[in-house]
A and B are shown apart, each in its own frame.
Chain A
């Protein structure tokens, strides 16, 4: 799905499938939270339904923290985190995890770099040791860096050069941000991937891979007090690092429409629209979240019903809001015209949907449906320990895992008038970024 592609480009993620949407909250999860002396933040959630555990290390660093000329370094480092330490040589990490029946992976987003191991619960201590080791002792061998560089380049070819959706998304992102690093691709520009030096990677690692810049979340079949003792034993000895530099760039208000048209070998055109919007810190965030479901949550949503189903203009069309973004980001819309339809038509029709939001209130049924979908999504996420841990991390990273409960309260409080107001404020005619991909003849 095009939506999948878009998410890939926004997150270089997909490690585990995207969040499922959910109604009555499950009994409130008892989270054991602690901060070690070295600053490592720890969240532990007991869940005894299956004999497994999901251990996740979230570093507060992503492409957001990169500078021009060195883009892609966070993601490059993510790859190198699997290439060995003095005590665990190249390939050892994977071997130990697999030998113990575990599954591991990692992803880099604009805001974070996240590593996980899902494994039999009695192996928690083992993988805590592995994670602690690579937080502090990563070996950055020049030969390994150069061979991994080629792997990253192949990944970029697959995701961007040879993928029309990825290719266009990168163009629109670059168009939308002039001051903020969100305009840089997560995987990095090709020239930067080819150039980045060992010294730069080493410095980046030392700056950002410190206990005080990390969040450890574990959910699964363990006793929280035992697990906490194991976390302390594994990570306690790692010294606190200097506070990493903050990101000071603030995107100035956009003046006028920006547009890019690219041509690429493809079968169908693509249209992307990106509107600068506030993130969760804004009082408008909950309404934007509900709006994204009214517009694009399932087959009864407006965009699907109107453009894909009733009028048969698009193969796919949708939208997505970046609620959890650390800095203000984009509200994306996309459409793939059906053969015989033009991208111009789809752009116009998407804009028509915004127009409608500004002019007439969303019906009670649509509003209620959207809220039900969001709440039910929360319940469905509880089904997987991996997702439970990820969701805790998402909220912790924007200010505290307890925000989860407040999130649902604010969603419930959204009114049709709120939707109308935020549509007027954030989807104005003039402040948008438009990308169109046309198949090469």
Chain B
């Protein structure tokens, strides 16, 4: 393959999506607030007889109590492992018998349940989705099983240098904030989680007043409202107000970490905190990141890969969440060239702060970010993820238009000004995973 689509990049894809954009003239989705607080978003997409439904709640790892790392992830994974009506295997069989899928899982900010189903089986699909959201039973045997699976997956992930490096960098970038913890927890922390923990996390955080439901596909607004109300209309919020999470504090001095593994390549990550879409600096930052390491025409791709032959994978990206954002530069190179590549990454960061970007670079980045937008909304699943993300981030259904306008306004001076805030090489945490030289 010419270029690498990194799993890490996929993880932040939805968020990067927000960095894309011109919009269709019509609003991307119909929005309304149901009586119990659920925000319902519906995007009609006729043509293919399928429907995607997402239910998002503020129940991600950021909301875990201290010393319960991995609780949101475990809770999410257990939603589909048994309900008042059906066992886990019965749920699996029911959805797969009609060729659909029903998954639930947690990330940093939220817990999401996702249904993909043929239109003709929508009733069954929504019934199952309603059950897993509203009447999960969290059987102890299923918890034991799932915890063992998660622990084994964490162990196995230790052999993947990108995962190891990403986890270490996150810890350094967000030292005093839940964002610094691994979403999946650690082998030790997952081993201590109990059914009571799961039950209590579910009761506190899985609630209609922070829920967003997106329905996209071969369905009308009226039908979607009716079907969602039928399953979720009687869902009542718990009395205590929904918990909140503080934004990540900044300002920790940058640190460096080297993790030795018997590998032929070194995985290099440089990272620091940045800003998210509600900050006006976000737009110059997105443009600057694209110029530095966003695509095959970027500076890092040119210098490290095309000219240097030093790496297959090299890129930079902004990953905004609701409670904080990071800016990351990444490369993998043969062990012997580690120092050289680190120097180039740092030198190119520095150059972004010293010199204004060229007009043609600026134009290319802006044209790409604006022009590639339709590609980011070309499937039912992508539209569902996008509308959930803009709602959760509080960006508004017109965000696509505002984004395009904001990107179009970015000047070379803006990019340099923002680079002087966020690209200063000395402010980056550094992680290297690989063989000792």
Q: Does B234 contact A (CB under 8 A)?
A: no
Q: Does A410 contact B (CB under 8 A)?
A: no
Which residues from 4 to 48 on chain A have a C-beta closer than 8 Å to any C-beta of chain B? Answer: 12-15, 21-24, 26
Q: A148: which B residues are within 8 A, CB to CB?
A: 309
| Stretch binding the partner chain, chosen from B150-158, B169-177, B219-227 | B150-158
- The one of A90, A101, A298, A315 in contact with B156, judged by C-beta atoms closer than 8 angstroms, is A315
Q: Is the CB of A157 within 8 A of B368?
A: no
Q: B367: which A residues are within 8 A, CB to CB?
A: 98-101
What is the distance, in angstroms, from A241's C-beta to the closest C-beta of chain B?
A: 24
- The one of B98, B101, B160, B364 in contact with A98, judged by C-beta atoms closer than 8 angstroms, is B364
In the complex the two chains form, what is the Cα distance from A427 to B328 in whole Å? 48
In the complex the two chains form, what is the Cα distance from A209 to B218 in whole Å? 41
Q: Is the CB of B262 within 8 A of A265?
A: yes
Q: Does B346 contact A (CB under 8 A)?
A: no
Q: Is the CB of A21 within 8 A of B99?
A: yes
Q: B265: which A residues are within 8 A, CB to CB?
A: 154, 157-158, 161-162
Tell me the nearest residue of chain A to B98, going by C-beta. Answer: A372
Tell me the nearest residue of chain B to A98, going by C-beta. Answer: B368
In the complex the two chains form, what is the Cα distance from A288 to B24 in whole Å? 45
Q: Is the CB of B97 within 8 A of A369?
A: yes
Q: Is the CB of B3 within 8 A of A105?
A: yes
Q: Is the CB of B49 within 8 A of A379?
A: yes
**Contact A265 to B311, CB < 8 A, known contacts A101-B367, A300-B92, A315-B156:** no
Main SS class of interface, A: mixed
In the complex the two chains form, what is the Cα distance from A81 to B152 in whole Å? 41
Q: Does A210 contact B (CB under 8 A)?
A: no
Main SS class of interface, B: mixed
From B49, B96, B97, B296, residue with most partner A Cβ within 10 Å: B96
Q: Is the CB of B1 within 8 A of A266?
A: no
In the complex the two chains form, what is the Cα distance from A81 to B364 in whole Å? 21
**Contact A98 to B156, CB < 8 A, known contacts A105-B3, A377-B99:** no
In the complex the two chains form, what is the Cα distance from A15 to B3 in whole Å? 8
State the total of A-B contacts with C-beta under 8 angstroms.
212
Tell me the nearest residue of chain A to B145, going by C-beta. Answer: A312
Q: Does A385 contact B (CB under 8 A)?
A: yes
Which residues from 285 to 344 on chain B have a C-beta closer than 8 Å to any C-beta of chain A? Answer: 295-297, 302, 305-313, 332-334
Q: Does A234 contact B (CB under 8 A)?
A: no
Q: Does A431 contact B (CB under 8 A)?
A: no
From B2, B93, B297, B373, residue with most partner A Cβ within 10 Å: B2
How many chain B residues touch the partner (CB < 8 A)?
73
Q: Is the CB of B2 within 8 A of A106?
A: yes
Q: Is the CB of B363 within 8 A of A147?
A: no
Which residues from 363 to 400 on chain A have a C-beta closer than 8 Å to any C-beta of chain B? Answer: 365, 368-369, 372-377, 379-380, 382-386
Q: B135: which A residues are within 8 A, CB to CB?
A: none
| Stretch binding the partner chain, chosen from A49-57, A64-72, A195-203 | A49-57
In the complex the two chains form, what is the Cα distance from A148 to B308 in whole Å? 9
Q: B97: which A residues are within 8 A, CB to CB?
A: 300, 365, 368-369, 372
**Contact A147 to B309, CB < 8 A, known contacts A106-B2, A157-B265:** yes
In the complex the two chains form, what is the Cα distance from A152 to B88 in whole Å? 44
**Contact A265 to B261, CB < 8 A, known contacts A369-B97, A372-B97:** yes
Q: Is the CB of B47 within 8 A of A49?
A: yes
Q: A101: which B residues are within 8 A, CB to CB?
A: 367-368, 370-375
Interface string of B375-396 (1 = CB under 8 A from A): 1011111000000000000000
Q: A339: which B residues are within 8 A, CB to CB?
A: 151-152, 155
Q: Is the CB of B297 within 8 A of A150?
A: no
Which residues from 138 to 167 on chain A have a C-beta closer than 8 Å to any C-beta of chain B? Answer: 146-155, 157-158, 161-164
Q: Is the CB of A147 within 8 A of B374?
A: no
Q: B378: which A residues are within 8 A, CB to CB?
A: 50, 52, 118, 384-386
**Contact A102 to B98, CB < 8 A, known contacts A22-B118, A95-B364, A383-B48:** no
Q: Does B5 contact A (CB under 8 A)?
A: yes
Q: A78: which B residues are within 8 A, CB to CB?
A: 1-2
Q: Does B62 contact A (CB under 8 A)?
A: no
Q: Is the CB of B364 within 8 A of A99?
A: yes
Q: Does B350 contact A (CB under 8 A)?
A: no
Q: A14: which B residues are within 8 A, CB to CB?
A: 1, 5
**Contact A379 to B262, CB < 8 A, known contacts A99-B368, A107-B1, A146-B309:** no
Q: Is the CB of B296 within 8 A of A22?
A: no
In the complex the two chains form, what is the Cα distance from A102 to B20 in whole Å? 12
What is the distance, in angstroms, from A289's C-beta to the closest C-beta of chain B?
A: 14
A selection of 23 A-B contacts at a CB cut-off of 8 Å is A14-B5, A23-B120, A81-B2, A91-B296, A95-B297, A98-B296, A101-B375, A118-B378, A147-B308, A158-B312, A158-B332, A161-B263, A268-B156, A299-B92, A312-B145, A315-B149, A315-B152, A315-B153, A368-B97, A369-B96, A373-B96, A375-B99, A383-B380
Q: Apart from A23-B120, A158-B332, A368-B97, what 7 extra A-B contacts exist at CB < 8 Å?
A: A22-B50, A23-B98, A94-B295, A99-B363, A161-B263, A267-B157, A298-B96
Top 3 nearest A-B pairs by Cβ distance?
Answer: A101-B371, A376-B99, A150-B309
Where the two chains meet, the residues of A that have a C-beta atom closer than 8 Å to any C-beta of B are: 12-15, 21-24, 26, 49-52, 78-79, 81-83, 90-91, 94-95, 98-103, 105-108, 118-120, 146-155, 157-158, 161-164, 265-268, 297-300, 305, 308-309, 312, 315, 336, 338-339, 365, 368-369, 372-377, 379-380, 382-386, 440
